Amino acid sequence: MKTTVSTHKLPGYGSTLRTAKSLADQAVRLVGRSVPGRMPDVQITLTTARGMAELSAAADIALAGAADRRAVTRAVRDGKRMSRDIQARAIPRPDGSALILINADKHADPGEFAVTLVHELVHAMQFSRKGVLERIVRDTRDGLGIERQPRRQSREHLRLLKQEEQEAYGREYLANQLIPGAAA
């Protein structure tokens, strides 16, 4: 299990990067002990909303194995729309590792960052569970218009996604162990 923290198109955020590196190592150990599953190799990237859209689209394209222009266009459009609203996103990679994109502009203090980091690391742990990666790949391919999935599988994916989100929100209290008062 290897953890890397970097920035993407984010000049002048040296202190934020140092804080992220110190919190990431502690958070990976904490989440690894608390959540069932195996922690994959994790790449945490701090970026802006524009960089998040770009990296998110590239990760979705790689995950789905998309090569046609329509799927790439749809991935870019979806990435732009999603990056306006969210603070962070965890994306599995085809090699079994996880990419965590964090919008640095939406985190005012280290406490908020710790809560988001713990939340996304829980999702990274969930990717290692049986059948989760295949389900996410199938849904991504469906979302990009590459390969349709049956309606039953789509509903099952949404139901399991809701459960996974609840688990991640339920583990945000672990951020208090990183920074006291973070999850308050």
Mean pLDDT by 10 residues, the chain (184 residues): 92 87 94 94 95 95 89 93 93 95 91 95 96 95 93 96 97 92 66
pLDDT at 184: 52
> Does residue 41 lie in a domain region?
yes
Judge contact between 128 and 38, C-beta under 8 A.
yes
Does the pTM surpass 0.85? The reply is: yes
> Does residue 70 lie in a domain region?
yes
> Does residue 149 lie in a domain region?
yes
> Does residue 157 lie in a domain region?
yes
> Does residue 112 lie in a domain region?
yes
Judge contact between 103 and 88, C-beta under 8 A.
yes
Domain count for the chain? 1
> Does residue 184 lie in a domain region?
no
> Does residue 19 lie in a domain region?
yes
Range of the domain at 11: 3-178
